Copies of this chain bind each other. A is one copy, B any other.
Amino acid sequence: MRMLRNLALVAAAAAVASTGVLAQDAGMKKWVQGRGWGWVWGPTDEVGNLNEMTDASRLAALRLATRGKVYDLGLPYDRTSFKWPGHSAGEIISFRSPAGVRAQQDLPFTTPGGGNTGGTAWHSNVIFMNDNVATQIDGLAHITHGPDSHFYNGMKAADWGGDFGLRKADVTTIPPIVARGVLIDVAGFKKVDALPSQYEITVGDLESALASQRVEVTPGTVVLIRTGTARYWGASGSDHARIGEHDSAGIGLRAARWLVEQKGALAVGTDTSGVEYVPPTADDSKAMGGSFNPVHVYLLVEQGVHILEFNNLEALAADRAYEFAYILTTNAIRGTVAGTALRPIALR
């Protein structure tokens, strides 16, 4: 992988010489057109290209909201929700209930004798779930590659793993994201309910859809690509057959490179569980050194670009809301590698 990276950087440098936009022209600190980012933020960086956000970029993004309308991009999660097969099972379990509190009498202040004559009680629940389900942001420690199992910035699993999750680049290091957002409605452009199984979204698809929408991806934009898969989510994502059929559509390495290296996308998301089409072609797999998830390796490991998954883009598409202020904050659970069951919002 290290060799692959170096070759890529040489190629990138050449590209910049001829066609590059100077990063500062786009208000970017480190982005170079034709190269994107990479491990450019210093040897101890855990944040990746989200370092590009500034007070000015946030303020500009907020100014895109001119009406105050809010779109909730989160998909509701429960024990029946569709998920990638490598993740753990989930249960939401009623933990305390008024009847149970009264029966248990384990906390004296909740009993009538303890003064609780009015019978105040409470509901709470145990959440047992994976840190990568429903609407999520993949953190930079999520994916590793190579025999040394390194992740972004060359950090290695053996050095930074632990019994209680990751000790570097966990979600607590992901800053709140306040940025310009753009929807690319590929399913809408193609006039289909949802893209077919395993469909690779091409650069041409993205360019055509953007042209039709009359909106551009400018450096620092969060890009959300609609396959239509989320229309089958419903109340909890329990229709695994329908979701699973369309969930395998997504971008390939070419589109990912174009978004990052030519357009400067701040983050890349879809309404599927994995952003990229699966399984990858042999070419895409080989281009990332033999990987079952080459786009993940490219974005997270190589470029330090976060991935946004299972976003509910249906209402945005229905309103032809193609440009907006995008706001996302992750959970603050130390050790976890993804914000999970989140509700990003789009503001117009």
Contacts and interface: CB of A to CB of B under 8 A. Distances in A.
Interface of A: 1, 54-60, 62, 65-70, 72, 74-79, 85-101, 103-104, 106-107, 109-110, 114-132, 134-135, 141-147, 149, 151, 157-158, 160-167, 172, 175-176, 178, 235-236, 279, 285, 288-293, 296-297, 325, 327, 329-338, 340-345, 347
Given A57-B68, A120-B297, 16 more contacts: A54-B68, A59-B67, A78-B335, A86-B110, A87-B96, A98-B144, A103-B160, A109-B292, A115-B292, A116-B290, A120-B145, A124-B131, A124-B132, A126-B130, A134-B333, A178-B347
A220 to B, nearest CB: 13
Nearest to A148: B119
A88 B104 CA distance: 14
Given A68-B55, A123-B142, A93 B334 contact: no
A345 B176 contact: yes
Contacts of A78: 164, 333-335
Contact of A163 (B101, B297, B327): B101
A131 B98 CA distance: 16
User: What copy number does this chain have within its complex?
Assistant: 4
B178 A70 contact: yes
A292 B332 contact: no
A291 B178 CA distance: 41
Contacts of A142: 122-124
Given A86-B122, A157-B99, A335-B78, A329 B345 contact: yes
Given A110-B86, A178-B347, A344-B329, A76 B127 contact: no
A129 B333 contact: yes
A130 B176 CA distance: 23
A337 B92 CA distance: 11
Given A70-B176, A285-B115, A343-B330, A129 B127 contact: yes
Given A107-B85, A130-B125, A329-B342, A165 B94 contact: yes
Contact of A104 (B57, B163, B279): B163
A293 B331 CA distance: 27
A118 B86 contact: no
Among A126, A343, A345: residue with most chain B CB under 10 A: A126
Contact of A96 (B72, B86, B120, B175): B86
Nearest to A338: B124
A131 B158 CA distance: 25
A332 B165 contact: no
16 contacts: A59-B67, A72-B329, A85-B107, A88-B126, A89-B90, A92-B334, A93-B164, A98-B149, A99-B158, A103-B167, A114-B292, A118-B145, A120-B145, A123-B143, A125-B336, A127-B340
B334 A236 contact: yes
A-B pairs, 8 with minimum CB distance: A59-B68, A117-B290, A100-B163, A89-B89, A118-B290, A55-B68, A98-B149, A118-B289
Nearest to A123: B337
Contacts of A89: 79, 89-91
Contact of A76 (B288, B332, B337, B341): B332
A119 B292 CA distance: 9
Given A126-B91, A172-B76, A334-B92, A121 B104 contact: no
